[in-house]
Structure formats: C-alpha cells, structure tokens
Structure 1
C-alpha cells in the first residue's frame, strides 16, 4: 500500500503473519505501478526480441509468474524438487535474517536451478515506517548476503506487506532494485489447509498475473503441485518475473503490479 511518510514514526513492523493481508491501494499516492503489458509495450519498438533467451513471448501467451516470499525455509528443498519435476521457473523473494543466512546452500540451489533470486529485506520491517538509512540497511544487507552466496546481487525486491512510498522507491533506485507486487494471494499465513490455498490461487489467477505464496508455511508447498497442474490445464505458461516483462526490463525504483 502506498502512503506518504508520516510525521511521526510508527512502532515496529507487524508480524510476518500479516504480510499479505492488506489491500493494495495504489492510485493517487504519488508512485504509480506499471503493469507487465505496459513494460512489454514500451519495449516493442526496441531491438530486443520477445522471448529472448528461449523464453515464451508473454505478449502472445497466457503467462503467469509464481513467486514465493520470506524463505528459504525447511520446506524449500521439497518445493524446488516439485518445480524441477514440473519444469516450472519461479521467483524467490528471500528474507535475510534466519533464512538466507541459515540456508545458504538452498539459496545457491535456487540460483543454480534457474529461478530468479530476489530481495525481501533483512528482517521484514515495514519499510514505510523507516527512515531512508534504515530502509537502505534492510535492503543492502540482504543484497550483500545473496551476492556472497550466488555471485550476483538481486535486481528485484518486494516490500513487506506491499507497502512502499517515495523514500522506499528512492532507496530502491539507488540500490538497483525494482519493486514487484502481486495480483493473487492465498493468504497462506492464515491457514494450513492446502486445498483452500490451492483454491484461492486458482480463483484469482489470470493472465499476466503474479502469484504470491510463502514457502515457510506448512500448508503452502503441498498446495503447489495442484496449482501448477490446474493452471497448466487452463493454458497458462509459468515464467519468472523478468520473463513476464520481457523484452522489457524492470527499472530500479519503479513499482510493478499486474
């Protein structure tokens, strides 16, 4: 949710369990989101070719991006097995403290298997509650930790709870990070019912969509095979977030949402 910087700082961020519970009010707040189709349209006249690198042309195909927040965790290796078996790429917005630093081998595996490794801050503090130097610390610590493991700094980030503003955008631009929001969420932090998680995603899935799930909750990973299989039956092609935008590219500081 976009909002202006308050005159008085709020207290610590709410718990991670509330991460995706808020509706995203994106208009009229000074930072306008850009859709995947907008990005592709702007790049249409360039020398870049849709589907570069063997990726499907999402201007023609019904693409959807599967994304996972706040990992890696104990279930992430099993999730990676599922994605590998079904040949589905995903985008992982990784949390630094107690996740990237606890499971470095899983972070490396995510990168090695061709998934997009992205930034979800160091401690999941709500960035709009922070001053610029604190936002910078939350993002740069995770950038550095991921680069140490994979040899590459992420180019994408997801602000906790989807909350961003001008300050967050400025710091993200400085660090080379584009902000990625979502169009479908299962609110999997609130239930362990895998069937319910699956149904919520299937009900909200649409072309050019970005699915938000969390691979740290018990009900989520068991729901993934059913989500993938049904969406493939419906004609969806799974892509990473950069592939969804191709031949365009996410620009640092900008906010993207279907």
Structure 2
C-alpha cells in the first residue's frame, strides 16, 4: 500500500474513533444489551393481549413522554397540561430534595394515572459507584416513593443513561428495569422552548421514548406544542409500561427504542 494511502486511512480511522468517543460523551450512554419496545411485546406469553380498553402499541402509532429529575415547582403546571390533553406520562423521580420535598406532587402524579419511576436518590453516576452505593441510590428512592404512593417503582433511569453489569445486577435485585430514550431535547442546555420543541419533533418516531426534564424553565412551556404536533402526526401517547404491553419490563434489563 502506498505510504500516502496508508497515512490517509489511519487518519480516517482515528477520526472515526474520535467521533464515536465524542458521541458517547454527548449521549452519556454506556455499552449495554438493549431491548426495544417491540422486543418486549414479542416476549409476552403466548396468547397474551393488552387489557381491554387500553392501547395496543403493536397496532397503534405509540410514543411515550418521560420526565426526569422532578418533581419541582414546574410540575403542577405540567400535570395541568397533561390532564387537559389526556396524555399519560412516565416520571423518573429524584429522591433527595425532590420526592422528599414534594410528597403531594408525587401523590398527585400517581393519582392522575402517570407512571412513577426511579431516577436515583442524588443523581450520582451509578457506573462510578460500588455496588453498595448503587443499591443505596436506588433503594432510598424506592422506599421514599413507596411510603408516599404505597407502591414501589418497577422502572428506573440511570443518570446520563450510564449503566454496566454491576448496575444491572443491583437493578435486578431491586426489581427495576432500566429505561433509556430515543429522543432528547438536551433541555438542560437551553431555555428556548421553541428549540426544545423542534429537537423533540425532529427525533420523534413510532415506539419512541422522549426524554425531558420538568425542572428547567424552558421545558414545560414546550410541552403543549409537542403534544399538539405529535397528535396531528397520528401518535398515541402512552406510559412506558403501556408501550411494552402485553409484555412487561423485566428487572435488570435495559430497554431502548
């Protein structure tokens, strides 16, 4: 191989490695064996069907709204929007300074038919922790939510989407499935509600899981426009468990569209 060609090929390979590394840093995701919503539906017991009166996402164009790191002072307005639009959502709640600070909001989220899920106690990156610390981060939030709602969550979302074998093992022990996402507005980096809306609409797809945060100023004002446009496109909004039905999220497994 000519020297110039070899150098060019090495540079191209290096560029690809750098791009992949940058992509990993930007998304915050680790390597894992992910299962899609369609996989979960396919794993359902033979003959299993969705409950009467509920959405069959194998037939309908479904999408799931999820909100991380609340509840906060923005959550009541969000719940008002969801109630008005008859849209269910999944809330991955943060324990410290959120669940314990806003028990009435946690109670309201559950009472209004939304899925209550776990986003750890203090948003520590779980892959940086030893197993006991991971267990503490998840179990404290499990206990706090159960004390308020009477039910422990069955879903969790690791901060920044970072997981590994140890996180998976602890999640399995605690009866928690890990839920990732397919669309994010990176609303932690902007207060521009129009931009948040555009980013989500550009990424929305069938069986998608949308990641937003109900703790940032620009997010909740973007939600009505997101809902309106996706309804026009023929989407039906569901919780994450509804998206997987008649299958169900198995503890420890990672689900990502």
User: What residue is the counterpart of 1:218 in the other structure?
Assistant: 217
Q: Which residue of 2 aligns with 1:23?
A: 27
Aligned to 2:175: 176
Structure-1 residue corresponding to 2:151: 152
Secondary structure of 2:127's match? helix
Q: TM-score, normalised by structure 2?
A: 0.89
Give 1:55 deviation, angstroms: 1.6
8 Å contact 1:64–1:236 — kept in the other structure? yes
Residue 42 in 1 paired to residue 46 in 2? Answer: no
Corresponding position of 2:131: 132
Q: CA RMSD in A?
A: 1.3
Secondary structure of the corresponding residue to residue 106 of structure 1: helix
SS in 2 for 1:117: strand
Q: Deviations over 1:73-100 (max 9, x none)?
A: 0010010000000000000000000000
Report the counterpart of residue 236 of structure 1 in structure 2: 235
**1:184 and 1:242 mapped to 2: Cα distance?**
18
Post-superposition shift, 1:46?
A: 2.1
Secondary structure of 1:79's aligned partner: helix
8 Å contact kept, 2:127–2:162: yes
1:55-66 matches, cutoff 5 A = 55-66=54-65
Task: Tell me the equivalent position of 1:102.
Answer: 101
Summarize deviations over 1:90-128 as a string: whole Å, max 9, x none.
000000000000000000000000000000000000000
Q: Compare the two structures and name the one with the higher helix fraction.
A: 2
Distance 2:225 2:25 in 1: 23
